Amino acid sequence: MEPAKREATKRWLGISPAVLVIFIFMVIPICIMAVYAFLEANPYGGVRPHFTLDAFIQFFFEYDFDDNLVFNSAYLNIYWRSFVLAFFTTVLCLLIGFPTAYYIAMQPTNKKNMLIFLVTIPFWTNLLIRTFSWILILRDYGVINNILLGMGVIDKPLTLLYTNGAVLIGLVYTYIPFIVLPIYATVEKLDLRLLEAAHDLYANRRQLMSKIILPLTAPGIIAGGILVFIPSLGAFIAPNLLGGGKKLMIGSLIQLQFASSRNWPFGSAAALFLMAAVLIAMMIYLLGPARKTDLGENAG
């Protein structure tokens, strides 16, 4: 073999485990999902091998009393609400996560390690249990309402549970460690001498933040944003438990199709729509700011 060819072969051998893992755990499931979306549902679960577009039709239309197909926005509304909730979850996570990560990164080494350790503690307990505890906090005679009632701020309990707000709180709570960690990693690598230089060159605190700190930590902010946005779009634990299951989000919708509704093709189609939506959102997120401020180039 020529040396160049041998090199290429070696390189392929080197990455083959990764390729294999991606193939088995990503490509094959997606293919199965894509195929199922075009098959007929079996009322007992699974699919029948007949090609049909029923799943996609069901997504946009419904049959009225006269058996005519009419446009139905119910599912699109679920997607829209999921997007809005995921967007606000990401924004809130950024607003809380960035100062937290920044503060932690600026502490002396021992304290820093200790605080990062504390951030990871929630992972030790099952998410389901942690979300249940939010019910105890938010319900009508839960922790918050009892405190407010006790202080005389309110005289009847506020409806906190089973609202969009409760879902938002649950999502922010669930995903905030995922934004703190990547931002912490970039802030920690930030060259503090650059901040001194910026002050020396007449930047005030606000300008320091917008011209130096944010651009230099953008890779962490982007990574953290993605890590929060995508899973919260498909989340179903917080929406189910704290949203009461009445206000469906995409995750709950898909989960329902595979569980009680036994409509696998529709679940697959809904998941495909979710994937497409995520891809589009990511493209907007990554290309938008990258083109304007050149962040993409510096991320490397």
Partner 1 sequence: MPETAIEVRNITKKFGVHTEHEVTALDDVSISIKDNEFFTLLGPSGCGKTTLLRLIAGFEYSTRGQILLYGENLIGLPPQKRPINTVFQHYALFPHMTVAENVAFPMKMLGKDDGETKKAVNEKLELVKMQDFANRKPGQLSGGQQQRIALARALAPHPKVLLLDEPLSALDLKLRQEMRTELKNLQRETGITFIFVTHDQVEALTMSDRIAVMSVGKIQQRGCPTEIYEKPNNRFVADFIGETNLLEATVSKVEGNDIFCKLSDNIILKGEGETGKNVGDPVTLAVRPEKIALSPISEQTEGSFTGKINNSIYLGTDTTYIISVNGKSELASVEQNSAVGKVRFKIGDEVCINVADNAIRILED
Cβ nearer to partner 1, comparing 7 with 196 = 196
Cβ nearer to partner 1, comparing 10 with 205 = 205
DSSP assigned state of 232: H
Minimum CB separation from partner 1 for residue 196, in Å?
Answer: 6
- The amino acid present at 84, given as its one-letter code, is V
Cα–Cα distance for residue pair 297/220, rounded to 1 Å:
14
Cβ nearer to partner 1, comparing 218 with 233 = 218
Minimum CB separation from partner 1 for residue 205, in Å?
Answer: 9
Cα–Cα distance for residue pair 170/164, rounded to 1 Å:
10
Give residues in contact with partner 1 (CB under 8 A): 191, 193-194, 196-204, 207, 211-212, 215-216, 294, 298
Minimum CB separation from partner 1 for residue 226, in Å?
Answer: 20
Minimum CB separation from partner 1 for residue 228, in Å?
Answer: 24
Q: How far is CA 281 from CA 160, 177, 233, in A?
A: 30, 22, 11
Three-class secondary structure of residue 261 per DSSP: coil
Cβ nearer to partner 1, comparing 11 with 211 = 211
Angle between helices 250-258 and 264-293 (to 10 degrees): 150
* Contact indicator for 47, 265 with CB cutoff of 8 Å: yes
Cβ nearer to partner 1, comparing 6 with 211 = 211
Cα–Cα distance for residue pair 243/248, rounded to 1 Å:
8
Minimum CB separation from partner 1 for residue 34, in Å?
Answer: 41
